[in-house]
Structure 1
Amino acid sequence: MKKTLALFLAITAFSINTFAQLKQEDPSLEWFKKTSEVINFQLNKAAQTYKPGKNPRSINPNGTVRIAGLTDWTTGFFPGSLWYGYELTGDKALAEQAKKFTIALDSIRNIKNTHDVGFMLFCSYGNAYRITGDKTYLPVLADGAANLYARFSPTVGTIRSWDFAWLHYPVIIDNMMNLEYLYWSANQFNKPEYAKAASTHALTTIKNHFRKDYSSYHLVDYDPKTGKVLKKGTHQGVTDDSAWARGQAWGLYGYTMCYENTKNPKFLDQAERIASFIMNHPKMPKDKVPVWDFDVHNALDTAELAPRDASAAAVIASALLDLSTQVKDGKKYADYAEDILKSLSSDAYLAKPGENSYFLLKHSVGAFLYNSEIDTPLDYADYYYLEALKRYAAIKKIDLSKNRTSIN
């Protein structure tokens, strides 16, 4: 207990000093400074508690921590969170731990049976290379990108998401997130065909995944021989035709990112229309942290049946902040995202130091229909929350560079 308290006090002092230098006289950023203290403490403790290659994913109903192994689609998020934590706080210890947890994922470069290699490698190795410039990270990224591109079908016009035997050629809206890996790899490794595949996937998804109100289906199953749509449905939402909250977030983030990489106005239009659907939805709670599916009939009444999904909120916030920098009237997006971040940084969602098994955010939903990860922390909620905070700091011109030290 004494050791934990001493560590908390030391890290708190570090964080207070860091952010006091940034905006010492700006009381409107008090929440941001307070959040940084929690981030630094929780991430340091998590890195000391868990082992590389066995990353914290969520908390089981019995209180134990669910661990993400090397083939788990979420396994890249914890190393990525450590990298983002380093960027936000300047704590070199987080960078050192991030490197350990990243290189433990080396064998993922050989995985060929899922689109999730984007989440697994680009969030870990991608951030590692972006921050350090260390070229030893590149071979893994090159192999993973090649395997992701190999899942693209010119006939269907998409990248296959899963290899499940009971589906013909499934594509889920989540797949939009992993296009960023291909765009980046196209430039990094001189593979223009990667970018072309990513844009084709995005255009096909606009055509087949979205409804007239710009809400999205979770899954579209195609005929691999003809590209014909066989079925539209869900493995996540309350019904096939409902608006699963995180799915809407994936779409918003994906099309914002696609526009940033291509400047194709179709992608910007799609992103803004999805943003409008989310921001103006009548069932969005006042704190702007959505329930797990917008179409749960009692979404604003019964927490037991309609738990909030902080992971969806974090993805939405990060996407809106990015979108705000891509358009002339971006303030409405930045302001909405700021409201989300303030909600997530409140006591209602942000863990207290030493609690929550060292995750940052509480109250996310993984897969409600399967009674899996309901009202629990999630590693990807933390990852996109940290990314959103970093983007917020950039927009607000909060100088995070004063405490940087070389980590090469």
Structure 2
Amino acid sequence: MKKPILIAFLLLLSTFGFAQTEMKQLIEEQFNFAKQQYKVMDKNIPPGLTPQSYDAQNKKFIGYGVQWWCSGFYSGSLWYIYEQTQDEETKKNAEKALKLLEPNQTFTGNHDLGFMMFCSFGNAYRLTKDPAYKAIIERSAQSLATRFRPAIGAIQSWDKNKYWQCPVIIDNMMNLEMLSWASDNGGDPKYKQIAIKHANTTLKNHFRPDFSSYHVIDYNPSNGKVLKKATWQGAANCSAWARGQGWALYGYTMMYRFTKNPAYLKQANGIAHFILNHPNLPADKIPYWDFDAGLIPYAKRDASAGALIASALLELGQYSTKDKAEYKKAAETMLRSLASDAYRAKLGENGGFLLMHSTGALPLNSEIDVPLVYADYYFLEALARYKKWYL
């Protein structure tokens, strides 16, 4: 090897090594911070409730009951923290949070059981192999399966109301993980069959030619005909709500993991390129709450979308050799951004939540520029994934 080429190679190797060491330190720092910060949060949680957000202006901690769709993220976050730190107090708090959730295994009131029960009990079983946790996951899958509508080929998200006949939202892709896992781990095979049918129906009806997703598809429950394509949390029916694109990216990446169906991988890659090449994606790669939001660049950001997308990109890179470097680089930028003072809270502040600047449902004037429990969850998941696959 000629000397100039050798020097260039060594410089490149040195730069890569430094970047990897820096990321290793960043990840270790974030989990150590999370270990301390979530002990602050534990003292703020009202009895019988699960964490959701924090109102900084009124210094009010916000928690909801166990049937709220976000109820599983707190326990799931604690299990990620425990996995990386082996802190026994964190484990005890995770187990305490699980006890509250157990009655949800028979809940059939909405489609969110995957969020509620797999983010929590799924992580608990992954780390402990406690058969009682596995039984709860299987029972939860049975409950979720009751919302499958054969005439549509999808799981109904919300019950019929004055706005919708049979709504299916893109978020629902996330709940297919619990169904697929349950079947692959000794449960009824029909759960995975339902997940595949739902993914195929969503693939057919939810997406535009540019791979962006509608938020809500409303179906005729009798014959499966699409009644309307709309939004509930996005800027407009035709817009690309940022977190919705994240749900879609994560969902099809995950379904490829379970099925190895190339159509799912193609879809996930298409969604990833829509997000990463969008002219409205900021330089720090933390999206505005909607890619078509008004008042850009002054629109609110959504750290939860950034964390979710980062986690999904890191997994997608495991299956997409051609784009692996691009996905890793983008996810790394997102993680560095989220770990910076611009998005991450200081110890003892923010109600005990890790991240600031998420947006729940801006059109509903709900949860605007606040911490959200699922932003923390996917941030921790993304950090753990980066460490597992890239360090």
TM-score, structure 1 normalization? 0.88
Distance 1:145 1:28, change over 3 A: closer
For the pair 1:276 / 2:269, whether they are aligned, the reply is no
Distance 1:229 1:335 in 2: 38
CA offset at residue 36 of structure 1?
2.6
Verify the 8 A CA contact 1:53 1:105 in the aligned structure 2: no
For the pair 1:295 / 2:288, whether they are aligned, the reply is no
**Structure 2 matches for 1:166-245, cutoff 5 A?**
166=162, 167-245=164-242
Render the CA deviation track for 1:118-163: whole Å, top value 9, x for unaligned.
1111111111111100111233222211011111122101000000
CA offset at residue 373 of structure 1?
0.5
Distance 1:181 1:197 in 2: 11
- Partner amino acid, structure 2, of 1:362: M
Q: Give percent identity, aligned residues only.
A: 49
Verify the 8 A CA contact 2:79 2:123 in the aligned structure 1: yes
Render the CA deviation track for 1:340-363: whole Å, top value 9, x for unaligned.
000000010011111111000000
Distance 1:355 1:396 in 2: 31
In structure 2, what is the equivalent of residue 92 of structure 1? 88
For the pair 1:41 / 2:36, whether they are aligned, the reply is yes
In structure 2, what is the equivalent of residue 125 of structure 1? 121
Verify the 8 A CA contact 1:359 1:379 in the aligned structure 2: yes
Distance 1:52 1:176 in 2: 31
For the pair 1:338 / 2:335, whether they are aligned, the reply is no
- Secondary structure, in 3 states, of the residue corresponding to 1:26? helix
For the pair 1:74 / 2:70, whether they are aligned, the reply is yes
- Partner amino acid, structure 1, of 2:146: A
With 328-337 and 204-213 compared, the bigger mean Cα shift is at: 328-337
Gaps of 5+ in 2: 1-17
**Number of equivalenced pairs:** 370
Distance 2:119 2:31 in 1: 21
Distance 2:234 2:21 in 1: 42
Distance 1:53 1:125, change over 3 A: farther
- Secondary structure, in 3 states, of the residue corresponding to 2:321? coil
Distance 1:52 1:131, change over 3 A: farther
In structure 1, what is the equivalent of residue 14 of structure 2? none
Verify the 8 A CA contact 1:53 1:101 in the aligned structure 2: no
Render the CA deviation track for 1:34-61: whole Å, top value 9, x for unaligned.
3233211111222243256411101235
Distance 1:52 1:94, change over 3 A: farther
Distance 1:103 1:48 in 2: 17
CA offset at residue 92 of structure 1?
2.1
Distance 2:184 2:32 in 1: 37
Verify the 8 A CA contact 1:242 1:293 in the aligned structure 2: yes
In structure 1, what is the equivalent of residue 252 of structure 2? 255
In structure 1, what is the equivalent of residue 312 of structure 2? 319
- Partner amino acid, structure 1, of 2:256: Y
CA offset at residue 28 of structure 1?
4.8
Match of 1:154 among 140, 150, 153: 150
Verify the 8 A CA contact 1:52 1:101 in the aligned structure 2: no
- Partner amino acid, structure 2, of 1:219: V
With 321-330 and 54-63 compared, the bigger mean Cα shift is at: 54-63
- Partner amino acid, structure 2, of 1:372: S
**Structure 2 matches for 1:47-58, cutoff 5 A?**
47-50=42-45, 53-58=48-53
Render the CA deviation track for 1:302-349: whole Å, top value 9, x for unaligned.
2xxx11100000000000000011121212111110110000000100
Render the CA deviation track for 1:198-226: whole Å, top value 9, x for unaligned.
01111110110001111100000000110
In structure 2, what is the equivalent of residue 59 of structure 1? 54
Verify the 8 A CA contact 1:172 1:219 in the aligned structure 2: yes
With 165-174 and 372-381 compared, the bigger mean Cα shift is at: 165-174
Distance 1:181 1:277 in 2: 27
CA offset at residue 88 of structure 1?
2.0
Render the CA deviation track for 1:354-379: whole Å, top value 9, x for unaligned.
11110000000001011110000000
Distance 1:59 1:85 in 2: 20
For the pair 1:138 / 2:131, whether they are aligned, the reply is no
- Partner amino acid, structure 1, of 2:28: K
- Secondary structure, in 3 states, of the residue corresponding to 1:104? helix
Render the CA deviation track for 1:86-121: whole Å, top value 9, x for unaligned.
112221221121011112111111211100111111
Verify the 8 A CA contact 1:255 1:270 in the aligned structure 2: yes
- Secondary structure, in 3 states, of the residue corresponding to 2:40? helix
RMSD: 1.5
Distance 1:51 1:133, change over 3 A: farther
Distance 1:309 1:156 in 2: 32
Render the CA deviation track for 1:269-316: whole Å, top value 9, x for unaligned.
00000000000000001100001001013321x2xxx11100000000
Render the CA deviation track for 1:165-208: whole Å, top value 9, x for unaligned.
22111000000000001000112233111111101111110110
- Partner amino acid, structure 1, of 2:102: D
For the pair 1:383 / 2:383, whether they are aligned, the reply is no
Distance 1:142 1:265 in 2: 27
